[in-house]
Amino acid sequence: MLPIHRPMVAVRHRASGAHRANVRREAHTLGNVEQLVECIPNFSEGRRSDVIDAIAAAVDGIPGVTLLDRTSDGDHDRSVLTFVGTPSAVIGAMRVVAAQAIARIDLRAQRGHHPRIGALDVVPFVPLGDTSMDVCIELARAFASWLADQYTLPVFLYARAASRPDRRVLSDIRRPGFEGLPAALAAADGAPDFGPRRAHPTAGATAVGARPFLIAWNIQLDTDDLGLARRIASLIRERDGGLPAVQALAIPLATLGCVQVSINLLDHERSPLWRVFERVRDLAAAAGTGIRDSELIGLAPLAAFLETADHIGVAELESREARVLAAAHWLAIRGATSDIALELRLDARRGETSLPTAAPLVD
């Protein structure tokens, strides 16, 4: 899920020993906040602003839900929302997103570079604070069942909510693409977890899951050489022997006249942002080019930025906001602001919304 970052709010390794302990003390995660869930729906529309605006506005109007970020990309023809709330409120918001996306997006006319199987392509639920993964698994299964019944749509469960080991990895479910769904659903092992064994004519299918936090991050190279971007993606992704917890693919960006290494970072402690960045930088330099810039899709945990701040030598006496901004600038994140960290964005919005306030999100 990886389009170009156009934030709605503001313009938008592993540290060892004492450093890692300091990062964890400083970040404080989101402890003591009960029953708070993040949802990051990906839908296959990145060009028609009226459709994207309508979906985002509908989410923003749901009581108990706070829309934190929205990103869209025309080359990917894809948009991503990031919102948080109580479990019941998040489910209500997702029903609104589903209704808008399925009514307004026709995949027969959609042509983006990003892999997709559905108009409402992917719906992950992520536990925050003291919320357990089990809560998000239950949410994923309940929403998947409702979605299939409501729209006669095949729905696949993935990640921690998966019903089968071969469906834990999202890319395995999405490999056939929208165009390949009929054959995939007709295969002996192709039955979805919910819904019919036939694709919705315009909305395809949907993958719904529960997972830990994932950092979606794109690095633009200062070249239009798609072959180079593909080689770099292969060299850094875990499945090809690269960096742990890294998924990557190469995408051409016609609007920018360059290529992109599109990254999902599944665990920033195993492969910190700074290590991924340096690896891509060094591989690009060896090929005679460089990094143009990078972009974060949605938000990332505070600790991920503090690890980078430690790596580049930003003094721990500096404020968290200053350290986040320094790290973001070093990572060449376009349009970065200090509230690009999830905890800081939540902290800033806490007083403006109906999010739980029994305990501070960031101490």
Q: What is the Rg, in whole angstroms, of the alpha carbon atoms belonging to the chain? A: 20
Q: Which amino acid is at 361?
A: L
Strand partners, 126: 38
Among 55, 52, 57, 94, which residue's Cα sits nearest to residue 77?
A: 52
Whether 200 is a known active-site residue: answer no
Give the DSSP per-residue string, 208-266.
EEE-S--EEEEEEESS--HHHHHHHHHHHSGGGT-STTEEEEEEEETTTTEEEEEEEES
- Active-site choice (114, 200, 268, 311): 114
Which helix (H) or strand (E) covers residue 51, if one does? helix 49-60
Q: Please list the helix, strand and coil fractions of the chain in percent, rounded to the nearest 5, in that order.
A: 40, 20, 40
> Is the dihedral angle over the CA atoms 101, 104, 105, 106 positive or is it negative?
positive
Contact assessment for residue 153 and residue 200, using Cβ atoms and an 8 Å cutoff: yes
Catalytic residues: 114
